[in-house]
Structure 1
């Protein structure tokens, strides 16, 4: 692994961990304050300097510049209508609703993903029950696999797992998820996150020379 690739992996690893936390649960004052305290609108990695990256950072900067803790309910409401409910979320974070004609949770694509995780010995410790094709859990696995590649650049098993995960299980639908989130987000924060997550996935796929499998989407 060249120094350039190592640096990109380091940046992508940090982003994956952050995105996992952003998508997994409702925001809190502390989680939003983390963005402000660490000036992530300025310090978010440029990566390849795409338009999505630039626009995402501008939106994040606009949000952070006016952020006050008493705005947390507004951000929570946005998370709920996008990713959680009540009612059907506008940007459902589970792969099966995009990949299955019935658009239900735990469909055949979820079963295939569970089989893949079992094959590669990947497991989760979840504080509450969640289908394994939730977008946040994909970022958790990417985080783990990138860490393994940083520790052992020749780890073929980790690289193969990451390629299959992205090519077959995540990238065929995640772009649509982020597109819906960007369209329906009411706060600059989640509009920014949608763009920065799209940029992250694009750069990761490019870095690993991955072309997503073409699949029909139902949402």
Structure 2
């Protein structure tokens, strides 16, 4: 069973992942990462290898290169290489604001989670899901992780592997490939520890 201290560390780690996938990289954030990753709560061999890719990329890739990779993957203009919204993978027409968006909005409403968004954007963004996970981990009691389990089983696990596959295939920097691997390891560890049963969802 997770302790409250472990949940707070997990909340902080999920917050870092939220920033990586939702916000463009900034010099300030990149400068803070090396020390933060040394304290990453899951220090397995695969995690350490992913972290090494990230740190090496920060050393050799300038902010412009990382920013270009971020936009090509998640933002555009034009076709993104790794669409970060769940409905793109779970909706037959690959439409934004699909059923997964509505379901996650209802989930957030029922758990008092609110986002300050710049515009009318779908909330089933992987970065926002990780931000919600960070909030729930911070608020949860170690013996009562139902909301955390539900977020992962219903709203993230059914499609996140397809998203991460796209990041792995299309990223041109070790920064995003490393964080893709780190997120995959992170999510899989929670799936194992909480004995989760992800919702069976057809992907398109």
Structure 2 CA distance for aligned equivalents of residues 75 and 147 of structure 1 = 30
Cα deviation, 1:128-168, whole Å, max 9, x if unaligned, reads 4321101111111111110012xx334x4xx2222111111
* Candidates 40, 53, 61, aligned match of 2:55: 61
- Find out whether 1:205 has 2:191 as its counterpart: yes
Distance in 2, matches of 1:210 and 1:81, equals: 33
For the Cα contact (< 8 Å) 1:20–1:139, is it kept in 2?
A: yes
Matches within 5 A, 1:177-196: 177-196=163-182
Is 2:170 aligned against 1:172?
A: no
2:40 is matched with which residue: 44, 48, 73? 44
CA shift for structure 1 position 125: 2.1
Of 11, 14, 30, 1:13 maps to: 11
Tell me whether 124-133 or 89-98 shows the greater mean CA deviation.
124-133
Residue 20 of structure 2, aligned match among 5, 19, 22: 22
Gaps of 5+ in 1: none
Is the CA contact (8 Å cut-off) linking 1:12 and 1:204 kept in structure 2? no
- Once the two structures are superposed, the pairs formed by residues 115-154 of structure 1 within 5 Å of their partners are 115-149=106-140, 152-154=141-143
Runs of 4+ in 1 over 6 A off after TM superposition: none
Match of 1:72 in 2: 63
The number of aligned residues is: 204
Structure 2 gaps of 5+ residues are none
Paired with 2:115 and 2:58, the residues of 1 have a C-alpha distance of: 32
CA–CA separation in structure 2 for the residues paired with 1:60 and 1:116: 32
**In 2: Cα distance, 1:13 partner to 1:77 partner:** 28
User: How large is the Cα RMSD of the aligned pairs?
Assistant: 1.9
CA distance in 2, matches of 1:212, 1:18: 24
* 1:165-192 Cα shifts (integer Å, max 9, x gaps): 1111111001111111011110111111
Give the Cα–Cα distance (whole angstroms) in 2 for the partners of residues 23 and 201 of structure 1: 14
Normalising by structure 2, report the TM-score: 0.90
Distance in 1 between residues matched to 2:45 and 2:136, nearest whole Å: 24
Shift of 1:39: 5.9
